[in-house]
Structures are given as C-alpha cells and as structure tokens.
Structure 1
C-alpha cells in the first residue's frame, strides 16, 4: 500500500459496513492458505475480553436484591425523618438536613427503587441470570484480576501451523460444552475426516464429548489427577454400521449400536450395551405451584425454620428472611440456590450453617418446594413438621438400553495444549493491543473479533510462509 494508512473513520466505517462478512473473510484467508500448509489437530481454549459495559451497568439477581433491600431501608428512614419534621413545632433553622433536601433524596431513592424493581421483573420474566444495560449480550465473568463484564471467545488453534483455524464468540461464563461448537466450522471444511481436539479441564462435559464423537471429532480433554479418562453413556440404537468408515454418520451408527469404529480404537475401550433403570416423568405439562400463594406467606413459612422455594420466580426464601437465587443446575438436574453476600452478613449464620464455605448452598429438585433447616430447628428445640407440599406420583421407572464406554485422551497431545492455545491470545492482547471490545452486541463483537484473529493469522502466515508466498496465495484465483 506504499505506506498509506487509513484513518480511524475509514477503519470504523469499513467495520460497520462489513460486520456480517468479517468472519467469512477470516475463513477465506484460511482457505487460501490451506493449499500451502498441512493442518494438524486443534487446541481449544477461551479467554475473557472486556465488553463495552461497566460493572455498574450490569446486574445479577442477587445484586438487585441487595440494592432493593438497601433502598427500602433508606426510603423508610427518609419517611421517618419527614414524619418527625411534621410533628416538630419549632424547627431549628440551622439544621443541615432540611425538608426540601430530605424530600429530594426520598424522590431519588423511590425512582431508583422503581427502576431496579423493573429490572428485577424483566429478569424473572425472561429467565435471564444477568442484565447488562449498555451491551445486553455481555455477562459478568471472573478473570485473574477479579470480575469484569466480558465475552468469552473460543479459538481452535492448529497444532502444526499455530494458525487460528476457527473461533466461536460466546457470552458463556464457563467453557463447559464448547468443544463441539468451536470445532463446527472445521468439521464442515473437512466433511469425511476424523478430527482431533485438545482442551483443558474446564471443558469437561461428557455430553459434549459424546456429541463430538458422534460428529467425527475426538476430544482429548485433560483429566483430573488419578483419572485415566472418562466414562461416557449414550442411548442405544440398533443399526448396521461400517466400522471402517470415517464418515460422521457411520461413526455415530457404530457407537450407538455398541461397536468401536476403527478410527476410535486407540481412544475408546470397554464398550458394552446395558439395560439400566431410569426415572421417567409421567406429566411434564403440569406446572408445580406453591401452596402458600403469596411471597409474603412463603417468607413467613421460611422464617419458621425452612427453605421455601417459589417455583414461579425461581428463588428460595431462607429462615433469616433472605432470598437465595439460582447458582447453577447440577448434573442430576437439581437446582442449586445461594446468596453469598447475605450469608456473609447474616447474624444467624451459626443457627443455619457450619460448613467450610462462607455461605449456605441449598439444592432443590423441580418437584421439591420446601426443605427444613435442621440446624436452625435444633437450635430452637423443634423438629421439622411434614406439610406435604411436594409434587408426588408424577414419575415412574423404566428399563432403557444404553451404550457405555471409556474414553482415554492422548496424553502426548494434551501436553502440547498450553504451547498452542496460550500464545495466540497473548499476541492478540499484548502485541496487537486488542484487550477489549469497542462494539456492542454479540453479532458486532463477532465481527470485531474476526478482525483480531485475521490480524493474528496474517502476522503468523508472514512468518510461516514469507510475505511474497502469502501474497501469491491471496491473489490466486
């Protein structure tokens, strides 16, 4: 380009006008390089990139509960002061807290309270775990420096060339279940080839691993100390399969019929078909409802020494009168509720919890509405009473056929993961200076990250092939 450099407005307009095709441009660059390089296996990893949204403009349900409680207290205090002012006959003119100032603060508190309750209603109606005001798709995530509102882009880095073969933009807080989505485009580019991917412990998800194997992708996920691999369970499906084929549909047929494909013989062992007893729901359409009706009644019941779940709002009232919000859903389907901040400042902690953590965690199944707080009741010399509020008789057990096998990752490949996945993120963040996003929304951020990855791949291709060879490949028709 003869040293010509576009100014910031030219770059901004280009990005704005072409945001939908920037990821396609990134893949087109890789496609043109493919004839001159040999691809290896892929290393999957993610990194937090700060979004264009401050922490003050991000709300979780627990954060809103705390702020609403705090504002309720301030509102009551301002009303009390105004009442005292009304009853006082001789007001001191030198008093700093004038009636006008109190009324102004009361109005501000009531406006904020109304706004926060509106946010709370939106989150409960939509089921959202977080609400970001500037960038609605961004989420509060933990990184090495604490917490920041971010995105969690995933990259698949090639083992032979160290080029980024694909990326997937996500706002998922953890990496669980993201091997398959990150490898999806590479799968499409190599339809009948068995692919391999390595990932760290954060990607441990047996359902994701099973889907990868069904799709012709071998997932090598690092195991915990003392473990050699993962026991995976999939539904049995009777079929005739070609175990010598590398086509994804034939690989899937073989696995689900209890056969090991030849392409998987080095990583899969101990495959067997079993009959197991499974719990099956009779009626999933009927929604369970609390017998206590109103939130006030649920809270009153909870303060008798029980954890009471409100299934409509998906929260739990604790014996101290605090609200516990959903923290996660466990593998067995149980919902875990907690409120770290409330537990840390709770004057009744010793009556409720004596564990190692600083807060109480309570697990509820979807059919459960109430649990006694045993320590709380014991401290008051009471025993839990049975109120029969749980949903019963809505399920039964059946015998189902499954395929169970052992997946052992390749240690030689997993040992190379850090050398492959870490430095591309380091180059993008440190050398290229892309540590945060300027745009809002996952669609626009995907295009922005495509430019980050394309910039990295151009620099890497220059070192790998040389500038002249790279330009020759780019200009070839």
Structure 2
C-alpha cells in the first residue's frame, strides 16, 4: 500500500537541532518578537520590568507581552490553554525561548499592566505612521457593546428591586394570613414550623434587597451588577440589553488601523466624540484632518469645540421630527431663521419671536400664538401655539450635518465597523473573560494591538516590518 507514513517515534532527532529553526524566516511570530524587543518597557510602566536584587527572579514582562499578542492573534485567551501551549507549541517555544510560566503568572500580567499595554498600542501606531500606513486624512469614530464576564442575571435596576420587594411583601402577607387563620381555626394540617422557616427566609431576602436599593439611592445610581460592579446594563442593537462595556474606536481610513481606543461605561456615544478625537489627534501628532461619526455622536458643544480647532467634522444631526398628523406636518426645516431679528418665519409668513431658554437642553425656544386663525394650521399644529427650538450650537450642528454626505457615511461604515467584527472574533465572540473595567480594558487593548499588528503584516509583509524594526 502507498499510504503516507509518519516519522518513526524512535528516531533520534525529531526536531531541528536549533530552536531558531522552529519557525521560518517569514513567520508573523518574528514580527511580535522584534516589535516587543524594540520597546522600552520600563518607561511604559510595566510591572517587574526593573527587578530587585533579592527574591525569586520574575519573568520579563516582554516575554509575557509576546505570549499575549500571539494568543490574541490566534484567538486563544485562556491562560490555562496558554500554559499548555508553552510546552507543546513550537511557535510559542520559539517565541518564549522555551520559558513556561504558569497560568496564574500569565493572568496576573494581563490584570496588572492595562495602562502599559495601551501605551504599547500607541507606540505601534507611531511606528505605523513612520512606515506610511497612517495618514490622518479621515478618521472614523464608532462604538460597540462588548459583554462583560458577569451574567446578565446579576444586573438589577431600581425598578426591578422595587418590583421584587412588592412581590416579597405579598408573599409575606399571604404566609402571615395563613398562620393567623390556622391559629384561629385550629388547622392541624398546616406545619407552622415550616411556615415560620419560610417567613424567616423571605424576611432575610427582603432585608438584602432593601439594603441593595438603599445603596443605589444613596449613590444616585439606577442600576447595579452584583458580581461585576463596573459593568453596566446597556442597549446593544439586535441583542437587546446586555451587561457590558461600550468600546470606542478611532480608525484611520488609509489601512483601517485603530489609532485610538477606549473602553467606557457610557450607555451611549453622545459624550464620546471630543475626547476620542483629541486622543486620536495626539497619537497622530496633530495630523488629523477629517473626523467622521454617526448620528449617535451628535453633540453640539463638542462639535463646536472641534470645529474651532479647525477640524472638518462630519456628523449627521440627531434631531426630533414633528410626528403629528402622521408625519405630514411642517418640520423645522420649513421655518426660516432670521438672525437679525433672532426669530423664525413660518411657512405662512408669520414671525415666531424668541420666548425662552432651556439651559438643560441647551436650546433657544421660539413661538407665536394665534395659530387657530392660520389657514395652514392643519399642516402645522393642533394647538394655538407652534414652538420651534434652536440649539445653542445650531450653526456647528448644521455644518457637521452638511459635511456628513452619503459618500462620507459609506466610507465611515467601511472604515470603522469591520474593526469591531474582527475584534469580537478575536475576543471570545465579543465577551470579556476578565472581570472589572481595568482588566477588561487591558484585554481589549491586547485585542486592538493584535488586530493592528495583523493589519500591518497584511500590508507590509513580515520581512517589510522586520526591515523597518531593524
């Protein structure tokens, strides 16, 4: 028979005589090794980069960082699995120089070095900028929800706690009524000891819920996750409500490299545009021209601040519509603003003067009475008065909306949204394995670093990157 046959196990030499021969010259693992070796880990704040003269010698943080980058590139985030790979995977044996740390050492490195790993991400973008992979001409910003390690069942809101307390009160009252009826009627079938035991349990559970509700009220919070206090209950598109974090990415259009990232507890993106854009500008050393985001980032004050810094901001406005009359009534765009008079002219030619200000919503409000006498009232309002609002930063919002052309929105989608799809594939299908915001942020940074490294290798190739790192 002509089957393929393996090498006999009794053969003297199964592996190459040198560890250097375990991986070929154009293997991506060599890029990981060369890049990490080019970093000054002490300046970046890695723990144990500087060792003491006494005690056990620790593993070098560079070796553990290499292991994690390799792990996320190969979708292996389990520290116990990584411990095994250090003994059997030839690529890891080469990368780690045959070092084999235990899973606890590997896990502690990820937990303790979140800020330092983020600096490594920044340093890699600087390297990519020097290599011509980042231009800063257009940076797209977007957010996506990543699930926390905690279960959704562990998240509670004030309303849920109040509802649970109400149901407990009803159960307690029912048991008390049964006890009272049993004592009056002499019901021997009722086991009063078991009822008393159930009542004691319900009372204890009620006390726990009351303490939990009191804590939420005292801290002015609306929700709480029992097993992971940093996680938040938030909306996540098709998945509905999830317990997790809001990941923010700023992605350069040139080669879809993530120039800045942040893991936040915010339930929406409304307050994220300016801080993310400013961090991206710092990473790109000021070479940022156009910022593009979706309507969820529409924030007049932040857009105005960015425009005053001479950035071209393209963000569609997120405005309410007049939904009366099946949506057929006049919209705000049908009214003409007259800056000289600080008033609006309605489609019927009447003036709506300035009436009041809402500082909370940052709005100027305009209105006129007498709409009942107007021949166009059926197309405008059912009331005798029509109100029109104008944002404090209306001009900035209009400029950003005009800049958000359909062509730019398509470019935004094609630039930033694929990064989240890839990151969720790398990061356990979009669910963190680490608990708490700090550890989850470290895990997300490792995912971003692995993603950027993979993109750079796809563009420049292994030998191209190694030549630039040499």
Q: Scaled by the length of structure 2, what TM-score is found?
A: 0.61
Instruction: Report the Cα distance in structure 1 between the residues aligned to 2:319 and 2:208, rounded to whole angstroms.
Output: 49
Q: For the residues of structure 2 that align with 1:224 and 1:90, how far apart are their CA atoms?
A: 66
2:409 to 408, 414, 417: 414
For residues 223-238 of structure 1, the aligned pairs below 5 Å read: 223=317
Alpha-carbon distance in structure 1 between the residues aligned to 2:198 and 2:140: 55
Partner of 1:77: 174
Structure 1 residues 41 and 438, CA gap change in structure 2 (3 angstroms): same
Instruction: Tell me how far apart the structure 2 counterparts of residues 402 and 167 of structure 1 sit (CA, whole Å).
Output: 27
Q: Structure 2: how far apart are the matches of 1:71 and 1:187?
A: 54
> Are 1:67 and 2:164 an aligned pair?
yes
Q: Give secondary structure in 2 for the equivalent of 1:166.
A: strand
Aligned counterpart in structure 2 of residue 153 of structure 1, from 226, 247, 250? 247
Structure 2 equivalent of residue 21 of structure 1: 116
Q: 1:114 to 1:225 in 2, by over 3 A?
A: closer
Kept in 2, the 8 Å contact 1:153–1:167? The answer is yes
Question: How many corresponding residue pairs?
Answer: 316
Cα deviation 1:156-175 (Å, max 9, x = unaligned): 11111101111121111112
Q: For residues 273 and 154 of structure 1, what CA distance do their matches in structure 2 show?
A: 41
Judging changes above 3 Å, is the alpha-carbon distance between structure 1 residues 466 and 271 closer, same or farther for their aligned structure 2 residues? farther
**Aligned residue number for residue 464 of structure 1:** 459
CA distance in 1 between partners of 2:263 and 2:274 (Å):
13
Structure 2 counterpart of 1:298: none
Segment drifting more, 440-449 vs 58-67 = 440-449
Partner of 1:3: 91
Alpha carbons of structure 1 residues 17 and 472: separation in structure 2 relative to 1, 3 Å: farther
SS in 1 for 2:241: strand
Structure 2 matches for 1:347-426, cutoff 5 A?
404=395, 406-407=398-399, 408-411=402-405, 412-426=407-421
User: Does 2:182 align with 1:89?
Assistant: no
Whole-angstrom CA distance in 2 between matches of 1:42 and 1:111: 54
CA contact (8 A) 1:151 1:171 kept: yes
The CA deviation at 1:205 is: 2.1
1:195 correspondence with 2:289: yes
Counterpart mapping for 1:331-342 below 5 A: none
Report the Cα distance in structure 2 between the residues aligned to 1:80 and 1:417, rounded to whole angstroms: 64
State the shift of 1:66 in Å. Answer: 0.9
CA distance in 2, matches of 1:225, 1:88: 66
Q: For residue 409 of structure 1, report the CA deviation from its aligned partner.
A: 1.6
2:349 is matched with none
Equivalent residue, structure 2, for 1:204: 298
Shift of 1:426: 1.0
Q: Say what the alpha-carbon RMSD is for the aligned residues.
A: 3.2
Residue 124 of structure 1 pairs with residue 217 of structure 2: yes
Higher mean displacement: 405-414 or 62-71: 405-414
Q: Distance in 2 between matches of 1:123 and 1:157?
A: 37
Moved more, 428-437 or 105-114: 428-437
**1:153 is paired with a residue of what secondary structure?**
strand
Q: Aligned residue for 1:367?
A: none
Q: Is 1:451–2:446 an aligned residue pair?
A: yes
In the TM superposition, what is the alpha-carbon distance from 1:273 to its structure 2 partner?
8.7
Does the 8 A contact of 1:41 with 1:196 survive in 2?
yes
Q: Indicate the SS of the match to 2:264.
A: coil
Separation (CA, whole Å) in 1 of partners of 2:340 and 2:318: 27
The aligned residue for residue 32 of structure 1 is 127
Give the Cα separation in 2 of the matches to 1:435 and 1:189. 26
Cα separation, 2, equivalents of 1:424 and 1:437: 17
1:58, CA displacement in angstroms? 1.0
More strand by share: 1
Query: Which of 52, 59, 68 matches 2:149?
Result: 52
2:433 maps to which residue?
438
Report the 3-state secondary structure (helix = DSSP H, G, I; strand = E; otherwise coil) of the residue aligned with 2:430: coil
Structure 2 portions without partners, runs of 5+: 1-28, 30-89, 94-99, 322-331, 343-353, 365-391
Determine the C-alpha separation between the residues in 2 that align with 1:67 and 1:402: 44
Cα deviation 1:262-295 (Å, max 9, x = unaligned): xxxxxxxx997987776599xxxxxxxxxxxxxx
What are structure 1's unaligned runs of at least 5 residues?
Answer: 232-269, 282-328, 334-400
Q: Deviations over 1:393-440 (max 9, x none)?
A: xxxxxxxx9994531224132221111122111111125645211222
Say whether 1:101 aligns with 2:95.
Answer: no
Q: Deviations over 1:100-135 (max 9, x none)?
A: 222222112111211111111111111112111111
11-20 or 57-66, which moves further after superposition? 11-20
Structure 2 CA distance for aligned equivalents of residues 115 and 55 of structure 1: 19
Shift of 1:9: 4.1
String of CA shifts for 1:17-75, please: whole Å, max 9, x gaps. Answer: 32231111111111112111242311111111111222222111111111111111111
- The within-5 A match list for 1:127-138 is 127-138=220-231
Q: How does 1:242-261 map to 2 (within 5 A)?
A: none
Aligned to 1:213: 307
Which structure is larger by alpha-carbon Rg, 1 or 2? 2
Whether the aligned pair in 2 keeps the contact of 1:220 and 1:410 (CA below 8 Å) is yes
Structure richer in helix, relative to its length: 2
1:173 maps to 2:249: no
Q: In 2, distance between residues paired with 1:273 and 1:429?
A: 52
